[in-house]
């Protein structure tokens, strides 16, 4: 059934105007002043509300397994949480182990998400092994499967880390075919040494997670990744960039016209490494990689979001519970109670991204309203081959729409959120801005506190060429 959204203030990455929007057959059918509504049209009054394109979060981990631990959000709970936070598309991960093909990984991930996801989704392939066959399959993934980005780890030796030659080979191949490598940039072997030394000295508490992953080693890996991409003549994307020591290499490369892109995440924008100075295991809630950085880095990240040295904000939603056994989940944060290196790395964030970036970014005058939309929707859609289907409000685009009340306040809490995770980093934070209604391809899936979405209703979205933003 068609829906007419009346009188909302439409905000895109470049526009800001009041108009009506007609949603029909899953698409935006018309935009204009005083559109007429037939008898079959549901009319929604959006007076006083912002009308935003649905959020695109290009870095989530739903039911992903790392080592012995699996993230506590399934595609069902995680996409519902995302929807309540105003996100209508996620890009998650398909995991290629040694001996398996990227194509098998994509098929497996699709089977996992297929009947659970309630918003649209795509995948990056995590590539942990490169040979001629894998490279050939990556080409097929880009050309035929709509999977055009590949995450590679410069950290976590003996599990997912790949060497520079593997990264270079992958970059060279995907760069020729419209794909892009996304790097987790930390120097894995140095970090491994520092962890070993810390444990040998009896330093087992979570605060040592931060102390053994120095910002300099994120900077080193970022610089190395850029040089590899330059040599491969390929674009490169840095996930979860956290440190000013890494940012400076991205800025330098972009100033030289090298196609380097990077995201940061809300946790790096709102928290700093002073959290690691606290005593006790509760610090495990801040165990993510890279870890929280100093206040200067935080300031530099906000500036870079404004100046487009950083292109977007994703969440790296990778939730593990603080309580063992919560909702039946095991090997969560307490798994590393006696050894910080066993604490599963990652934090929740998919449900709070839009609101905290609006509240802390737009309301604090760090970014404009248009830039907020660009960072949370348009830029990820453009960079990862989803635009103009996703990421904007335009005739013909998917009718993924968020009605957002900029003035309504609420307090963020794990007691009221929809994720399976038993905590949020933003517990008790009072924010301005609330998601009121969410439409996915024209269908109302969030209506205030009511959930109208359906598991399995999310669609896998094939993505086009990436890295050309
Ligand atoms: N970021 C993190 O700590 N965990 C998720 C995996 C990754 O993105 O590296
Ligand atoms: Zn990573
Ligand atoms: Zn991640």
Average pLDDT estimate for 179-186: 98
Q: How far is the CA of 184 from the centre of ligand 2 (A)?
A: 4
Q: Say which residues have a Cβ less than 8 Å from residue 197's Cβ, sequence separation at least 6.
A: none
Q: Which pLDDT value is given to residue 267? A: 99
The one-character DSSP state at 39 is T
What's the topology of domain 54-383? TIM Barrel (3.20.20)
Q: Give the residue, out of 289, 291, 333, 421, with the most ligand 1 atoms within 8 A of its beta carbon, to mutate for a pocket test.
A: 289
Q: How far is the CA of 218 from the centre of ligand 2 (A)?
A: 11
Model-wide pTM > 0.90: yes
Average pLDDT estimate for 146-164: 97
Q: Which pLDDT value is given to residue 469? A: 63
Q: Which pLDDT value is given to residue 283? A: 97
In the block, residue with structure tokens 């194509």:
103
149, burial (CB in 10 Å: exposed 0-12, middle 13-18, buried 19+) = buried
pLDDT band, very low/low/confident/very high, at 231 (cuts 50, 70, 90): very high
pLDDT band, very low/low/confident/very high, at 117 (cuts 50, 70, 90): very high
* Rg of the chain over all Cα atoms, to the nearest angstrom: 21
Average pLDDT estimate for 280-293: 97
Q: Give the residue, out of 271, 315, 341, 346, with the most ligand 1 atoms within 8 A of its beta carbon, to mutate for a pocket test.
A: 346
Q: Give the residue, out of 59, 60, 61, 314, with the most ligand 1 atoms within 8 A of its beta carbon, to mutate for a pocket test.
A: 61
What are 78-81's contacts with CB under 8 Å, separation 24+? 78/317, 78/319, 78/350, 78/419, 78/420, 79/116, 79/117, 79/118, 79/119, 79/121, 79/453, 79/458, 80/118, 80/418, 80/451, 80/453, 81/350, 81/351, 81/417, 81/418, 81/419
Strand-pair category, 450-451 with 443-447 = antiparallel
Atom number in ligand 1 closest to CA 61: 5
Is the model's pLDDT at 333 over the cut of 70? Answer: yes
Is there an atom of ligand 1 within 6 Å of 345 CB?
A: yes
- Which 3-state string (H, E, C) describes 52-95? EECEEECCECCCCEECCEECCCCHHHHHHHHHHCCEEEEEEEEE
Spatial CA neighbour of 299 closest among 310, 285, 289, 290: 310
Atom number in ligand 1 closest to CA 239: 8
pLDDT band, very low/low/confident/very high, at 466 (cuts 50, 70, 90): confident
Average pLDDT estimate for 314-322: 98
Domain ranges of the chain: 3-52+393-451, 54-383
How many Å apart are CA 62 and CA 60, to the nearest integer?
6
| CATH superfamily for domain 3-52+393-451 | Urease, subunit C, domain 1 (2.30.40.10)
* Residue 256, both tokens: 């030289």
Q: Which pLDDT value is given to residue 98? A: 80
pLDDT tens digits for range 370-396: 999 999 999 999 999 999 999 999 999
Say yes or no: ipTM exceeds 0.95.
Answer: yes
């Amino acid at each position: 059934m068609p829906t007419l959204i009346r009188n909302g203030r439409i905000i895109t990455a470049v526009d800001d105007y009041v108009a009506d929007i007609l949603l029909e057959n899953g698409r935006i059918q018309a935009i204009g002043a005083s559109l007429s509504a037939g008898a079959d049209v549901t009319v929604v009054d959006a007076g006083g509300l912002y009308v935003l394109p649905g959020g695109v979060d290009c870095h989530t981990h739903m039911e992903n397994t790392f080592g012995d631990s699996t993230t506590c959000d399934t595609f069902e709970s995680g996409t519902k949480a995302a929807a309540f936070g105003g996100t209508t598309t996620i890009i998650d991960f398909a995991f290629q182990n040694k001996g398996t093909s990227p194509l098998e990984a994509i098929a497996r991930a699709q089977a996992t998400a297929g009947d659970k996801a309630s918003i649209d989704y795509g995948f990056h392939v995590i590539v942990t092994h490169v040979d001629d066959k894998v490279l050939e399959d990556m080409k097929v993934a880009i050309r035929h499967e709509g999977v055009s980005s590949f995450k590679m780890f410069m950290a976590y030796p003996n599990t997912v880390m790949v060497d520079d030659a593997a990264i270079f080979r992958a970059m060279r191949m995907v760069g020729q075919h419209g794909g892009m490598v996304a790097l987790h940039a930390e120097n894995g072997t140095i970090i491994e040494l520092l962890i070993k030394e810390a444990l040998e000295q009896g330093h087992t508490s979570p605060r040592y997670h931060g102390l053994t992953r120095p910002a300099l080693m994120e900077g080193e890996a970022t610089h190395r990744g850029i040089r590899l991409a330059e040599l491969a003549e390929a674009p490169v994307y840095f996930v979860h960039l956290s440190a000013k020591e890494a940012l400076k290499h991205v800025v330098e490369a972009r100033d030289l016209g090298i196609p380097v892109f990077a995201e940061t995440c809300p946790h790096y924008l709102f928290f700093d490494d002073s959290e690691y100075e606290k005593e006790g295991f509760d610090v495990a809630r801040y165990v993510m990689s890279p870890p929280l950085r100093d206040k200067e880095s935080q300031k530099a990240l906000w500036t870079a979001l404004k100046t487009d040295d950083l292109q977007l904000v994703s969440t790296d939603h990778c939730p593990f519970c603080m309580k063992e056994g919560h909702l039946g989940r095991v090997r969560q944060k307490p798994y590393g109670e006696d050894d910080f290196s066993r604490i599963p790395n990652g934090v929740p964030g998919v449900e709070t991204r839009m609101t905290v970036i609006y509240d802390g970014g737009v309301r604090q005058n760090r970014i404009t309203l248009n830039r907020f939309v660009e960072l949370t929707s348009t830029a990820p859609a453009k960079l990862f081959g989803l635009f103009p289907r996703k990421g904007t409000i335009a005739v013909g685009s998917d009718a993924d729409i968020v009605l957002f009340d900029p003035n309504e306040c609420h307090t963020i809490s794990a007691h009221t959120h929809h994720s399976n995770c038993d905590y949020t980093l933003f517990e008790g934070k009072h924010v301005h801005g609330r998601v009121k209604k969410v439409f996915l391809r024209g269908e109302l899936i969030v209506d205030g506190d009511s959930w109208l979405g359906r598991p399995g209703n999310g669609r896998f979205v094939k993505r086009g060429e990436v890295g050309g933003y």
